[in-house]
Amino acid sequence: MASDSLGNQWYQPVAGLGSVGSYQISGIPFATGSLTVTTSSVTTVDFPNVTRFVTVRNNNSGDLKVGFSENGVNGSNYFILGHNESFAGELRLTKLYLKGGSANTTATVVAGLTGIPAGSLPTSWSGSLGVG
C-alpha cells in the first residue's frame, strides 16, 4: 500500500499473470538474431518480462529443437523447425530453450513483452506436464 502526505493509504494495483489488459496492448519489442545453437548444449533465451507472443526462426539447414524447459529439449518435449521454418505463438514465457537437432544452426527470436516482471513466472513452466 502507498500513502499520501496526510497518511491516507490506497491500493496501487500491479500487473500480474492474470492481468488481461497486459496481453491486449501491443507488446514491448524484443529481438535477438543469429543465435548460435549447437547440438551439444542448450541455448536459453531469457526474457526480462513475461512474453505476450514469441516467434522463432531457424536460419540454417540443421534442425532446431524448440522447447519450454531445458529438460524438454534434452528429452522429448520439444518441436522441430527445419531449414528456414518459423513458429509464432501467443505464449506466456520468461525463457525459451533451443538446441541443434541434426547439426549446429542459427536462430532468430522475436517477442512482444508485457509489463509483467519475469519474476511473476519464476519457473517459466519448467516441470509442467508436456513441458519437461
pLDDT at 46: 96
Residue-level pLDDT at 3: 63
19 lies in some domain? no
What residues make up the domain containing 49?
A: 27-116
Give the pLDDT confidence of 27-70 residue by residue, as tens digits. 999 999 889 999 999 999 999 999 999 999 999 989 999 999 99
Inform me whether the pLDDT recorded for 1 exceeds 60.
no
**What is the chain's mean pLDDT, rounded?**
90
Beta strands at 28-37 and 79-81: parallel, antiparallel or unpaired: unpaired
Question: What are the φ and ψ backbone dihedral angles of 119, each rounded to 5 degrees?
Answer: -60, -15
102-125 per-position pLDDT tens digit:
899 999 999 999 999 999 988 877
CATH of the domain at 48: 2.60.120.10
Q: How many domains does the chain divide into? A: 1
Comparing CA positions, the residue from 95, 12, 88 lying closest to residue 50 is 95
Q: What one-character DSSP code corresponds to residue 70?
A: H
Q: Residue 100: is its pLDDT beyond 90?
A: yes
